[in-house]
Structures are given as structure tokens and as C-alpha cells.
């Protein structure tokens, strides 16, 4: 398996992987493929990585800018992250996250936020921070990881493609 930057030819495969990964998921409304497409169309995919095996895309992760109290503080949102259902639980998602974190650290980005399962994302260093909030969503599932400096305080806003 290799992890590489998304290429234009990957858009359809990413759509298929994302759709399959979230199909029937209890915390999904099915909007994830549209979120990725909307971020791509807006030029808001700061980092988009695919996991490829034998020439086929088996996983994808997107990182896009977020604002905190309406300001760009160099923070990004992780997600959606999608792995083919037949390949979940094999370390592909972890590899994508680790590679993304390494690249963002190398670029000088300040930190990452995400909405996800605390038990899974804690292993990467993500944690809830009372002063950093995403209104209207469960606080226990909104986590952050500083890559440089401290975790700021304020209200986070994702790109409009997320619809939140």
C-alpha cells in the first residue's frame, strides 16, 4: 500500500470509497461524498491523501481549513476519512492520519480539529478542549490536536461544504 496525494483521476474512486464507507453508518446522513466534492470544487482541500493498493484507491482522508472565532489561525479540520468496508480495521485509516499529521506539521500548520469517536482518535493525541467548541454538536465528539503551540479557544467553523 502507498499513501499519496490525491490526483484529478482519483475523484470518482474517492467518491465510491467515501460512499461505501459511510453507507448505513449510524452517525452519517450520507453527505460525506458531497462534502469531499464540495471542498474539491471550492479549492478547499488543503491536503487530500489516498491509500492505494494494486492501483486501486482503498482509503481517503481530507484536511480543510477551519476558522476559530471567524479567523484563520492555521488550523484544519480532518475529515471525512473513508476506508473501503472490506479494508476497515487493517490500519489504513491510521496510516492516512499519521501521514497527514506529519505533512501538516512539516508545512507549519498549527493544529487539527475533528468530529469523531473519542476512543479511536485519542490514540493520535486528539482530546476534547472545553474552550474550543463546535456549536450544535456533541462536545464529547469534538476534539483537537495542537501541532504547534497551544490549543486556542473559540468557536470553530468548517467550510460551508460541510453544511454545519
Q: pLDDT tens digits, residue range 91-104?
A: 999 999 999 999 99
Q: What is the pLDDT of residues 24-44, one digit of tens each?
A: 877 788 789 999 999 999 999
Q: What would the mean pLDDT of 61-70 be, rounded to a whole number? A: 98
The pLDDT score that the predictor gives to residue 30 is 78
Q: Which domain holds residue 66?
A: 2-162
CATH classification at residue 101: 3.40.630.30
Cis preceding linkage at 13, omega within 30: no
Query: Which SS3 state, helix, strand or coil, does residue 114 take?
Result: strand
Judged against a pLDDT cut of 80, whether residue 164 lies above it is answered with: no
The pLDDT of residue 105: 97
Distance CA 130, CA 48 (A): 29
Question: How many domains is the chain partitioned into structurally?
Answer: 1
pLDDT at 25: 79
Amino acid at each position: 500500500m502507498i499513501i499519496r496525494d490525491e490526483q484529478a483521476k482519483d475523484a470518482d474512486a474517492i467518491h465510491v470509497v467515501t460512499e461505501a464507507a459511510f453507507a448505513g453508518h449510524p452517525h452519517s446522513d450520507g453527505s460525506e461524498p458531497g462534502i469531499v466534492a464540495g471542498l474539491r470544487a471550492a479549492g478547499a482541500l488543503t491536503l487530500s491523501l489516498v491509500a492505494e493498493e494494486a492501483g486501486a484507491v482503498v482509503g481517503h482522508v481530507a484536511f480543510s481549513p477551519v476558522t476559530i472565532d471567524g479567523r484563520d489561525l492555521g488550523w484544519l479540520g480532518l475529515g471525512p476519512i473513508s476506508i473501503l468496508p472490506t479494508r476497515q480495521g487493517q490500519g489504513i485509516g491510521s496510516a492516512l492520519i499519521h501521514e497527514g499529521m506529519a505533512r501538516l506539521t512539516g508545512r507549519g500548520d498549527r493544529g487539527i480539529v475533528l468530529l469523531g469517536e473519542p476512543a479511536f482518535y485519542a490514540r493520535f493525541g486528539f482530546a476534547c478542549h472545553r474552550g474550543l467548541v463546535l456549536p450544535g454538536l456533541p462536545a464529547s465528539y469534538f476534539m483537537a490536536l495542537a501541532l504547534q503551540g497551544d490549543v486556542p479557544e473559540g468557536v470553530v467553523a468548517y467550510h460551508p461544504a460541510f453544511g454545519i
